[in-house]
Structure 1
Amino acid sequence: MLQSAAYERRSPLLYFILNSGPLVCIELNIRDNLLCNFHASDRTFYVSTSSYIFCTSVNQYCINIEIKMASNLKGVYHAAAFGWYVFVVTTLAAKNGEELPPGIFVYGGPWKYLTFLNLLLQMVFFGLAAVNDLHHGKNSASTLNRCTDLMFSIFAFPVGMFVVVLFWTIFAYDRELVYPATIDAFLPPWTNHAMHTFVLPLVLGEFLVQYHAYPQTKCALATLGLVGLGYLFWIVWVYVSAGIWVYPLLGHFSAVGLVGFFCFNMSVVTLFYLLGDKLNSQVWKNRCNRY
C-alpha cells in the first residue's frame, strides 16, 4: 500500500479521488475487493497501485466519452443550423419570381438589405463550421478553424445581434420605418421571424457548443469599421443611382443625421463584439487563446 501524499503532488486525479474516493468506489460497485481506504479523522488516504491504474483508466474512459458526445453535439448543431439557413435563403430567393411590392427589389435586389446579407453570413459560417467539425482532432490550429473563429467573433455574432436588436426596436416604434405592412402580403410572418428572431438563439447557442479564439480587439474593431463603411457606401450608392433608400427610416435624416446614425450603429456593433468576447471567455474559462 502506498500513501497518497507523494501521488497527490503528482496527479490531479488522485487529488480528486482524495475528496471523493469512497464515493467513486461505491459508484463503481467495488464491494468485495475494496481498493480505496479513507479515514475521515486524519484525512489519510491509501490507494494500491492496481487501484490507481484502474481509477485512471475509468477516468480516461469517461473523458473520452464526454469528448465524443460534445463533438457529436457540435456537429449536429452546426449541420442543423446550416440546413436551416439554406432553407430560409432558398425560400427568399424563390420569391424573386413572384409579384413584388413596389420598390422592394429595385436596384440591387435583396443584396442591399443587411438582413439578407446577414442570412448569407450566418449560412456561410455554419457551413464552414460543419465542414470544420469533420476534421476535428486532425489539426486544431488549421486554417479553416481560424477562419471560423474570426468569422464568428468579428461578423456572425455582432452583426447577427445587431440585426435582431435594431430591427425589433424600430419595428416596435414604427414598423413602416423598417418593414412596411405591404411586405406581409409578399412574405409570410414566419419568414420575418426567420430573418429577424431565430438568428439570436442560434448565435448564442454557438457559445455553448464551440470555443472561439478571439482576435486582438483593435484589429477586430478596425475590420468591423471598414466593413461598416463599405455597407454605408453601398446604401448611399443605391440612393444616388435609384433614388430610393434601402430602409424608409433613412429618408428622415439629414446628411449630418445620417453620419450620426451610422456612428451610433457602429457603437452598438462594437458593444456586441465586446459582449461576445466576454461571453466566450466566461463560458470557456479554461481557454484564453487569441490570434
Structure 2
Amino acid sequence: MADWAKVFHLFAMFESFFGSYYFVYLVDYPKSFGLEEPEFVPLKGRMRYLTYWNMVLQTIYFFIALLNDFIGSNENVPAKVPLIRKVKDYIFSSLAFPAAMYVGVTFWGLMAIDRELVFPKVLDEFFPTWLNHLMHTNIMIFIFLEMFLTYRPYPKRKRGILGMTLFLVTYLIWMHVIYFYSGLWVYPILQVLNWPLRIVFYLVSLVFGIAFYMLGEFSNNKLWSKQISQSKRSGRKKTN
C-alpha cells in the first residue's frame, strides 16, 4: 500500500501542477473576445479564479502527502503522530476535500443550468476539453481516491469548518478587491445579480462549503470506522 500511495500522490501532484501551469501559460484568450483580465492580478489574471486557487491547493496537498509518505507515517494509529502527518490530515479534511468538491459540483451544476454564466461556449476553442475535466472533474475523483487510500482522523468539527470557511471568505474578499480595482466580476453570474441576490449567493456558497465538509467527515467515518474506534481506544489508554 505504501508504494501505491507514493505513486498516486506523485501523479496527483504532477497533474495538478501541470494543469495549473497549462492554464496560466498556454491558454490565451484573444482580446477581440472581450474577455478582460485585470492587469494587476498575478499570473496573467488567472489568480482571480477559484478553480486556479483549488488547483494550487491540490498541488500543495499532494506534495505534503508525498512528503509524509517518505518522512512521516501512514500508519492508522502511530505511537507518535509526525507533524507532517498532522498537517496533511488537517489540510485534507478542512481544505482539500471540501474545496475540490465545491469547485467540481458548483461548476458542473452551473454548466447544466446555463454555461454562459460560468464558462461561455466561446472559450471552447481555446480551452481544451481535457483541461476542463482535469480542473473540474479529476479533482473530485482524485480526492475521493485519496480518502479510500489512506486513513486520517478528522479534526474537531469547529476547527475543520473554520479552516474551510476562512478559505472561502478569503476568496470572496479577493473577488471584491478585483471588482473594486477593475470594475470586473470574476464570474458572469455575479454580473446579472443585484446586491441582495449576490449576498444570498455568497451565503448559499458558504452553506455548500459546510455541506461538503460534512460529506467528507461522514464518508471518512463510514469508510474508516474500525480505525477511528482503534484511535479512540489508543487515545484513552494514553490518557490513563
Q: TM-score range by the shorter chain?
A: 0.7 to 0.9
Please state how far the C-alpha of 1:151 moved relative to its aligned partner.
0.6
SS in 2 for 1:270: helix
Tell me if 1:105 matches 2:37: yes
SS of 1:106 mapped into structure 2: coil
Seen in structure 2, the aligned counterparts of structure 1 residues 102 and 81 have a Cα distance that, compared at 3 Å, is same
Is 1:94 equivalent to 2:25 in the alignment? yes
Structure 1 residues 180, 134: CA separation in 2 closer, same or farther (over 3 Å shift)?
A: same
User: Residues 31-66 of structure 1, C-alpha deviation per residue, up to 9 Å, x if partnerless?
Assistant: xxxxxxxxxxxxxxxxxxxxxxxxxxxxxxxxxxxx
Tell me the amino acid that sits aligned with residue 122 of structure 2.
T
- What is the aligned partner in structure 2 of residue 163 from structure 1? 103
**Aligned residue identity for 1:133:** D
| Counterpart residue type for residue 114 of structure 1 | L
1:173 is aligned to 113
- 2:126 and 2:34 map into 1 onto residues whose CA distance is 11
For 2:13, give the aligned amino acid.
F
CA distance in 2, matches of 1:104, 1:120: 23
Q: Corresponding residue for 1:34?
A: none
Q: Which residue of 2 is the match for residue 118 of structure 1?
A: 54
Which residues in structure 2 correspond to 1:6-25 (within 5 Å)?
none
Once the two structures are superposed, what CA deviation does each residue of 1:146-186 show, in whole Å capped at 9, x if it has no partner?
A: 11111110010001001111000110111110001222122
Residue 98 of structure 1 deviates from its aligned partner by 7.0
In 2, distance between residues paired with 1:87 and 1:96? 12
User: For residues 35 and 150 of structure 2, what CA distance do their matches in structure 1 show?
Assistant: 41
Task: Report the CA distance shift for 1:190/1:159 in structure 2 as closer, same or farther (over 3 A).
Answer: same
Give the Cα separation in 2 of the matches to 1:230 and 1:81.
25
Taking the aligned partners of 2:59 and 2:106, their CA distance within structure 1 comes to 20
| Larger Rg belongs to | 1
**Would the aligned equivalents of 2:175 and 2:185 in 1 still touch at CA under 8 Å?**
yes
Q: 1:104 to 1:206 in 2, by over 3 A?
A: farther
Give CA-to-partner distance per residue, 1:65-85, whole Å, 9 cap, x none.
xxxxx1111111111111111
Q: Deviation at 1:227?
A: 2.3
Looking at structure 1, the residues matched to 143 and 37 of structure 2 have their Cα atoms a distance apart, in angstroms, of 28
Alpha-carbon distance in 2 for matches of 1:136, 1:154: 20
Rounded to whole Å, the distance in 2 between the matches of 1:250 and 1:213 is: 37
User: d(CA) in 1 for partners of 2:73 and 2:109?
Assistant: 42
- Which residue does the alignment assign to 1:83? 14
- Residues 98 and 164 in structure 2, CA contact (< 8 A), matched pair in contact too: no
Distance in structure 2 (CA, Å) of the matches to 1:137 and 1:222:
26
Answer yes or no: is the 8 Å Cα contact 2:73–2:85 preserved in 1.
no
Q: CA deviation at 1:207?
A: 1.1
Q: How far apart are residue 142 of structure 1 and its match?
A: 1.2
Q: Distance in 1 between matches of 2:55 and 2:182?
A: 24
Tell me which residue corresponds to 1:6. none
Q: Which has the higher contact order (CA 8 A, sep 6+)?
A: 2
> Which amino acid is 1:87 matched to?
F
Query: With structure 1 as the length reference, what TM-score do the two structures score?
Result: 0.71
Unaligned 5+ segments in structure 1 are 1-69
CA distance in 2, matches of 1:253, 1:143: 45
1:246: which partner in 2?
A: 186
Identity of aligned residues (%): 29
Q: How many residues align?
A: 222
Alignment of 1:275 onto 2:206: no
